[in-house]
Each structure stands twice: as structure tokens, then as C-alpha cells.
Amino acid sequence: MTEPTSWENFRLRMPVAEKWAYFDHAAVAPLSGPAQKALLEWADDAVANGDAFYSTWNEQIEATRTVSAQMIGASVEEIALVSNTTAGINLVAEGYPWSPGDNVVTLADEFPSNQYPWMHLADRGVETRRVPTDDGRVDLQRVAEACDRQTRILSVSWVGFASGWRNDLELLAKIAHDHGALFFLDAIQGLGVYELDVRRVPVDFLAADGHKWLLGPEGAGIFYLRTEHLETLRPVGVGWNSVVDAHNFNRINLELHPTAERYEGGSRNVPGLIALGASLRLLMEYDPAAIGERILSVTDEACQRLVEIGAKIASDRSRQHASGIVVFTLPRQDPVALRERCLEQGVVLSCRGGRLRLSAHAYNNEEDMDRLVEALR
């Protein structure tokens, strides 16, 4: 794991590295230094000036919308700023024009937020088809067989939260579109660290909170929809911020924004979105392909070191499916107790499904790896 200067510079902008070997980005990531700075500056301004400079805050929020669009190759008109991934999923689940007999296809081991909103449609006559996986490994043939003429949405995560399996987005989009359905991508475990150009990969909808790989705060995320679907989704939670001339509170005219901003409803998480923008700009300083390769290099090294101390790697590490998430076990060891021991020694990871889960970012290095192995040993 040769340490290029660029990754050292990245590490210097992650204050968490001064204290912790942090391997839990798939849960809640530490804030980046730029995000911390943005939050503190906003707080100082709000304390000293109230909303005197609210227009500046709005400009910063729009800058976050712009960099979000740039990250995925979208236009700014296709981006709504939302509170979390669940909110983005519900914009589609609650806003799509369903008919009795329609169905949604997803995976049986998706994170709950990518299951409950679809299952909640049962009282409207919409079936949710949950395709089983083989311990997180996705069989696309089974996904295709679950789709039919009445499938309206195929909703799948980019990376499985409990397995680390990274899906082929082009193939998933093709399966959906071949059946006349739309493709929804839960991008929270991949956005910011793997390449995505929605002009090349025909994702129809996407949602991701910023508090994982994007290194932002909780409660600030993005929602994308392809422009052609703008009139398909009925806006849910319409409020003052959903309309044209939103700041003219004396003008009551339900003229919705002609952009994805119509889905934003009321007041936004101003400090969270400003901080998210700061972290996005940090990530955009790097080639996303390089970040992805760096993370795969770090996790490949982690797997090798873990196997040397007797760990069993459960995640698929083939090049097309490997990700920043590695799930593993140690024989005759309680994963919960191991996690607590790691915390005591300055190492942060998670337990998922009765196994330990490591999730490394591009700034993790050999020093972090040494601390992890020593804590587990």
C-alpha cells in the first residue's frame, strides 16, 4: 500500500485520523475537515447575525446542488436536496402513479429503507417482490425473472450494506428498462467513491444521504431524477419551497418549480447542506476512479492481513463486485465483544448480521491497518 502524497493530503483533512483507526464509513462516517469548518463558520454567523446573511446561505446551498450534479453527471435541474435516503425513496414510492396490480422488484436483503416504503404500498394493490440473494451475492437472472409487464420500479442498492457486494448498474438498468420499468438506485454505499455518470448509465432515480462515504453530516442528502420523469412523480410534502417565487410569501400561487426543487417542500437543513457541499468539493478534487481503486487496494490489503490472523472473509472480493465493505468473522470469537475490544484500542468498525464489518475510505493507511490487526489479534 504505497502511500502517494495525494492520499496523505486527503488524510490530513480528516481530523478523525489523529485519534482513531476509523473503519466504519458504511455506518456513520466522520466529518471531513472542510465540513467541520463550514459548520463552525455557519454557526458563528447564525449566532452573531441571525438570518441577516440568509441569502449567502442560499448561495452556499445552491453550490451544494451544483457540485452534487457534477459528481454524477446530471444537470442542476435534476437534483433535489433532501434530508436522507429514505426521504428520496419515499418521493418515488409515494409520488409514482400506481395502479392495482403493479409491482416493485427489490432484493430481500436490502437495507430496510429500501424495502418498507415499497411494502407500504400493499394497501394500494402494489406488490413488493423481494428477490433472495446468496449471502449477499446477487443473481441478475433471478432479478430479471422477478420482473414482468406490471413491474414499475426496480429498486436496488449500489452496494449491499451487510455484504459489500457491488452491483453492476448498467445491467440492472437494462433489466428494468427491458421490462418497461424504471430503475431506482439507493446510492448511499457507493456515491462519492465509485464512478457514476447518469448520462451513460441510465439511472432513473437516485437517493443518498451524505453521512457515509460522502463524509458529510446526517440529515443532508441528494435525490436525482431524470428530467423526463419530472411530471411523473406527484410531489409529496409540498410547501413554500416547492413553488416558483418561493420567498414571496404574500403570493399564493401553486406554480411548482419546473425542476427537482419542487420536491424540497419546506425549510431545509441549512448547516447540514452547506457542510455536505464542503465535503463533496473535497472528494471532487480527486478522480473518482482513483478513489475507488484506492479503496479497493486498502480493503484488499485488509483482507490479506485478516486472513493471516485466521479471519474468514465473507464478502465477494472479485474485481467487479468488491467494494469498501468487508464482512468477516474470527473463529470462536463473539463479534460484539470484538468490536468493543477494538473501540477500547482506538479502532472503529461495525457488527452486521452476526459478523464484523469493516468499511475503509481512501485516507485509511498502513498505520490504521496495523492498529486494526493488533486489536483483533
pLDDT for 144-179, tens place per residue? Answer: 999 999 999 999 999 999 999 999 999 999 999 999
Is the predicted pLDDT of residue 2 greater than 90, yes or no? Answer: no
Higher pLDDT, 4 or 57: 57
Q: Name the residue range of residue 240's domain.
A: 40-284
Is there a domain that residue 28 lies in? no
User: Do 13 and 69 belong together in one domain?
Assistant: no
Chain segment 3-43, per-residue pLDDT in tens: 556 899 999 999 999 999 999 999 999 999 999 999 999 99
**Of 242, 260, 284, which marks where a domain is finished?**
284
User: Do 278 and 294 belong together in one domain?
Assistant: no
**Of 251, 284, 317, which marks where a domain is finished?**
284
Amino acid of residue 360 = A
Chain segment 305-338, per-residue pLDDT in tens: 999 999 999 999 999 999 999 999 999 999 999 9
Domains held by the chain: number: 2
Is there a domain that residue 29 lies in? no
Of 292, 293, 288, 241, whose CA–CA distance to 262 is shortest?
241
pLDDT confidence band for 288 (50 / 70 / 90):
confident
User: Do 250 and 174 belong together in one domain?
Assistant: yes
User: Do 299 and 182 belong together in one domain?
Assistant: no
CATH number for the domain including 268? 3.40.640.10
User: Do 207 and 341 belong together in one domain?
Assistant: no
Percent of the chain exceeding pLDDT 90 equals 97
User: Do 128 and 232 belong together in one domain?
Assistant: yes
Q: What does pTM read for this prediction? A: 0.95
User: Do 172 and 317 belong together in one domain?
Assistant: no
How far are the Cα atoms of 45, 121, 176, 271, 361 from residue 180, in angstroms, in the given order? 50, 20, 6, 40, 37
pLDDT confidence band for 141 (50 / 70 / 90):
very high
Q: What is the average per-residue pLDDT within 236-261?
A: 95
Of 260, 334, 284, whose CA–CA distance to 82 is shortest?
260
Chain segment 77-89, per-residue pLDDT in tens: 999 999 999 999 9
User: Do 242 and 292 belong together in one domain?
Assistant: no
pLDDT confidence band for 115 (50 / 70 / 90):
very high
- Residue 1's pLDDT is 44
User: Do 320 and 247 belong together in one domain?
Assistant: no
How many helices (H) and strands (E) in the chain? Answer: 11, 13
Percent of the chain exceeding pLDDT 70 equals 99
Return the exposure string of 133-167: e unless at least 16 CB atoms fall within 10 Å of the residue's CB, then b. beebebeeeebbebbeeebbbbbbbbbbbbbbbbb
User: Do 276 and 359 belong together in one domain?
Assistant: no
CATH number for the domain including 367? 3.90.1150.10
- Residue 258's pLDDT is 97
User: Do 124 and 245 belong together in one domain?
Assistant: yes
Is there a domain that residue 328 lies in? yes
User: Do 278 and 150 belong together in one domain?
Assistant: yes
